[in-house]
Amino acid sequence: VAAPTAAPASRRTVDLPALVERALDGEQRAVARLITLVEDASPRLREVMAALAPHTGRARIIGLTGSPGVGKSTSVAALVTAFRAQGRRVGVLAVDPSSPFSGGALLGDRVRMQEHATDPGVFIRSMASRGHLGGLSWATPQALRILDAAGAEVILVETVGVGQAEVEVASLADTTIVLVAPGMGDAIQAAKAGILEVADVFIVNKADRDGADNAVRDLRNMLSYGDGPHGAWRPPIVRTVASRQEGVGDVLAAVEAHHEWLESTGELTRRRTDRAAAEIEAIALAQVRARFGDLHGAVALPALAGRVVAGEIDPYSAADELVASVTEA
C-alpha cells in the first residue's frame, strides 16, 4: 500500500523519536505520519509501539458499522459533535477492509466531517486494511494504539462492508454500535451475518421516516431470542435523526451505560486482553511466516513444495520440516 500523505524521501530521513514525541503531544501531522507507517507495514513500527506502550490504554474504542445508506458517516459526525461538546478529544478511524486504497478517498466526500477537520481536538483518518497480512486484526489495532497514545479519549472506528468486516470491527471495540435504517430490512440482514450477537447498542437512524417503528420492532423481536442470564447486557435500541443531531445524546448515554457495565463486570479488561492476545498472535504469526520466507538451503519452502508435488513427502511432513527449521535455528 502506497502512502499518499508522505513522500518516500521524507519518510526515509524521519527522526522517529521526535515524531513520536510530537504525536504524544497530540500533533495531528505527527499522528498521521505514524499511521502511515502502519499502512506501509514499516519495520520501524516496532520502535514506535515500544515508545507508545506506556501511554496507551486510556481511550474508549467505539465500533460503528451498518449497511451502506444507513447514515454511518452522518452518525459518526454527529457523535463527534456530541463528544466534543463534552470536551473530549476524539479520534475517527474509517476502515475499508475491501479496498486496497487508503488516504482520503473514504472520507473525502464527507461534508459533515469537514466541520471537524479544522478542530485540533479531532483526529480523522481513513485506512485501508486489505493489503496487510491478517487485515483488520493486524493493522487497525496499531492505528488505534497511536490515536490512544496521542490523547484521543474516544475513538470511533467505522467500517464499511458486510458480514465478516462488521464482525471483525466488533472484536476491536469496547462498545459496538450497529446502525440500521427504516425499510432496509437491515435487522434481518444483520441477523444473517451474525451481527446481532456482536452489537452492544443499536441505532435506528432516519427515525423520522416511515418504517422506523417496524425497524425497532424487528430488532426487538430478534433480540428477544438472545435473552441472556441475569446481569447480561441487553443492547438498547436508540432512535436518531443524525442529520439533525436528534437522539445523539441518547446514544452517548447508552454508550456510557455500556461502558459502566463493562467496567463493573470486568468485561472491559477481558475484551481488551482478548484483543491484545489476538494482536500479539497476528504479529507473531507474521514473524514466523517471514522466517519461513527467509529460509535457504534444502529445507526452503519451494524445495519442500517441489518434493510434495513429486509425491516424495506429504504436506504435513513438509510442514514439520518447515517449522523445525525455524524453531531449531
Chain residues binding a copy of itself by CB under 8 A are 45-46, 49-50, 52-57, 141-142, 145, 269, 272-277, 279-281, 283-285, 287-289, 292, 301-302, 304-306, 308-320, 322-323, 326-329
Judged by CB, which is closer to a copy of itself: 174, or 186? 174
Provide φ and ψ at 103, rounded to 5°: 90, -140
- Sequence-ordered list of residues with C-beta below 8 angstroms from that of 66, at least 6 positions apart, any chain: 72, 166, 178, 179, 180, 181, 186, 203
Q: Report d(CA 17, CA 47) in Å as an integer.
A: 9
Would strands 175-180 and 122-128 be described as parallel, antiparallel, or unpaired? unpaired
Question: What's the alpha-carbon Rg for the chain, to the nearest Å?
Answer: 22
Judged by CB, which is closer to a copy of itself: 18, or 276? 276
Q: How far is the CB of 160 from a copy of itself (least distance, A)?
A: 15
Q: How far is the CB of 157 from a copy of itself (least distance, A)?
A: 17
Q: How far is the CB of 151 from a copy of itself (least distance, A)?
A: 14
Judged by CB, which is closer to a copy of itself: 209, or 270? 270
Judged by CB, which is closer to a copy of itself: 52, or 177? 52
Q: How far is the CB of 314 from a copy of itself (least distance, A)?
A: 4
Q: How far is the CB of 34 from a copy of itself (least distance, A)?
A: 13
Q: Which residue has the cell 500523505?
A: 5
**CA 155 from chain center: how many Å?**
10
| 321, 327 Cβ separation under 8 angstroms | no
Q: How far is the CB of 239 from a copy of itself (least distance, A)?
A: 32
Judged by CB, which is closer to a copy of itself: 132, or 145? 145
Q: Report d(CA 37, CA 271) in Å as an integer.
A: 26
Compute CA distances 35 → 23, 48, 139, 145, 290, whole Å: 10, 10, 9, 10, 22
Q: How far is the CB of 50 from a copy of itself (least distance, A)?
A: 5
- Sequence-ordered list of residues with C-beta below 8 angstroms from that of 298, at least 6 positions apart, any chain: none
Q: How far is the CB of 180 from a copy of itself (least distance, A)?
A: 22
Q: How far is the CB of 279 from a copy of itself (least distance, A)?
A: 5
Judged by CB, which is closer to a copy of itself: 45, or 199? 45
Q: Counting Cβ atoms within 10 Å, is residue 50 exposed (0-12), middle (13-18) or buried (19+)?
A: exposed
Pull the grid cell for residue 214.
417496524
Judged by CB, which is closer to a copy of itself: 93, or 113? 93
| 130, 98 Cβ separation under 8 angstroms | yes
Judged by CB, which is closer to a copy of itself: 49, or 255? 49
Q: Counting Cβ atoms within 10 Å, is residue 35 exposed (0-12), middle (13-18) or buried (19+)?
A: buried
Judged by CB, which is closer to a copy of itself: 108, or 306? 306
